[in-house]
Structure 1
Amino acid sequence: MLPPTGQALTIMEALHSTPARRYLDPDPIPEDVLWAVLDAAIRGPSGGNAQQWGWVVVTDQDIKNRVATWYRDNWERAYGRHRERILASPAGSDGLSPRGFLGAEHLAHHIEEAPVWVFPVLRHAADEQDPRVGASIYGAVQQLCLAARAYGIGTSLTTLYRGHEDDLRDLLGLPPDALTMALIPMGSPAKGRWAQPRRKPVEDVVHFNRWGATRARSEGRNR
């Protein structure tokens, strides 16, 4: 049962209204809410139910400041240097939209202000070459984001700290075999709203039995 701070959302409501929230308030997240969200996350799927994971919660400002420097360096290399071109792109074009860019840029410049960070960590994955290794934790990561949504806490999933895994392992005191799979900054939304993320029509991206075999969506089916 949700405490008074939670919202009574149906599963479908939550699934359709959990966009990335990149403008986050620095106010602390209540301890009971944080634990409830983490407890919901670990109910998510785990390959073979092995649960070879850990969830590192970061509130230490020194740690956040150091990682934020790596994050901004990667942001500038991947996106920041394309700022003028992206902001001049017409609305509706493929790729990062101007509005999406501004939100991601804000996060890059303010990520250390988010009151809580969560690093989902997989054990025995540091040297893993299987691109599907994340399947053992990403379902649980989404449950964390959905649970946060129920409590009015915004999240986004990012990996822009990449390239500093060994440094991060030392900074967080992770076991040698551990690999961080993402960074999820969390906080009360400071801007924006809980809205359905814009996506291509489902009919355009769903294939039946073979790639390219599409099917018209019946009017009588739920949308």
Structure 2
Amino acid sequence: MDVHEALYTTRMMRRMRPDPVPLETQCRILDAAIRAPSGGNAQRWHFLVVEDPKIKARLHEIYRRCRRLEYEDPASAALGKALHETGEDHAEAMRKIKASGDYFTDHFEEIPLLIFVFAVDDLGGANTYPAIWNAFLAARAEGVGGVMTLVLRYAEDEVTKLLGVPVEQGWRMTTMLAFGYPLGRWGVAANRRPVHEVASRDHWDQPFGVEIPDPLWSPQAGA
């Protein structure tokens, strides 16, 4: 797959088929992840793969509870504000996001592959997020979709205990990744504010200098 196709069409997929992700595919995803840049080559990351139905059932219970807490969290209001600023219809955008999240929650136990990402002294994610995005790009090349969720942060202690994480050694949960073959279609995100609206040059209040009204890659251009 062309790198630009992967970059432009990889998006979060919350609706997935229950079909298992083969071990060899998992290996390619994680091997790509660990090739990501790591500050000082410290590699302070650990990827915990979960496929056991019993563990997923326990995690499903925790996830439902945490999702309720997330919706009660005042910080969630920031999402609505961001959607409003993009010019999207707030009610419709929120409806789609909630419906997608509801589907993911309801079908949590059917997700074939969960990967928990842990780190020590992660510096705000600087050492793990490049690896996480490598994993998503590698998954895209394999036809596998996925989503990253921080919802379980509301019960981090419970999750780490369930998974046997040696927190006394400094390991902390960064996020959970869910992977599976998507029910939806790949495509270039169409609801992005263009570069010239979100970028400047030399000084915050100076224009970027070039307008880019449309994506610089499209399926037709990549064909």
Q: Matches of 1:71 and 1:207 in 2, distance apart?
A: 39
Percent identity of equivalent pairs: 33
Does 1:119 find its partner at 2:116? yes
Does the 8 A contact of 1:80 with 1:105 survive in 2?
A: no
Does the 8 A contact of 1:114 with 1:186 survive in 2?
A: yes
Return the match for 2:99 from 87, 102, 105: 102
Q: Matches of 1:206 and 1:215 in 2, distance apart?
A: 6
The equivalent of 2:49 in structure 1 is 57
Identify unmatched segments of 5+ residues in structure 2.
Answer: 217-223
Q: Matches of 2:104 and 2:202 in 1, distance apart?
A: 40
Output the TM-score relative to the length of structure 2. Answer: 0.81
* Structure 1 range deviating more: 194-203 or 144-153: 194-203
SS in 2 for 1:157: strand
Does 1:25 find its partner at 2:17? yes
Q: Matches of 1:103 and 1:156 in 2, distance apart?
A: 11
Q: Matches of 2:130 and 2:37 in 1, distance apart?
A: 6
Does the 8 A contact of 2:145 with 2:182 survive in 1?
A: yes
The equivalent of 1:212 in structure 2 is 205
Q: Which runs of at least 4 in structure 1 moved beyond 4 Å after TM superposition?
A: none
Q: Matches of 2:134 and 2:61 in 1, distance apart?
A: 28
Q: Letter of the aligned partner of 2:204 in structure 1?
A: W
SS in 2 for 1:199: coil
Q: Flag the structure with higher strand content.
A: 2
Q: Deviations over 1:135-162 (max 9, x none)?
A: 1110100000000000000111111011
CA-atom RMSD, angstroms?
2.6
State the 1:75 CA deviation. Answer: 1.9
State the 1:102 CA deviation. Answer: 1.4
Does 1:179 find its partner at 2:172? yes
Does the 8 A contact of 2:147 with 2:178 survive in 1?
A: yes
State the 1:51 CA deviation. Answer: 0.4
Q: Flag the structure with higher helix content.
A: 2
Q: Matches of 1:80 and 1:156 in 2, distance apart?
A: 22
Identify unmatched segments of 5+ residues in structure 1.
Answer: 1-8, 126-131
Does 1:12 find its partner at 2:4? yes
Q: Matches of 1:167 and 1:73 in 2, distance apart?
A: 12
The equivalent of 2:126 in structure 1 is 135
Does the 8 A contact of 1:114 with 1:185 survive in 2?
A: yes
Does the 8 A contact of 1:22 with 1:104 survive in 2?
A: yes
The equivalent of 2:219 in structure 1 is none
The equivalent of 1:146 in structure 2 is 137
The equivalent of 1:92 in structure 2 is 88
Does the 8 A contact of 1:58 with 1:64 survive in 2?
A: yes
Q: Letter of the aligned partner of 1:123 in structure 2?
A: V
State the 1:209 CA deviation. Answer: 2.1
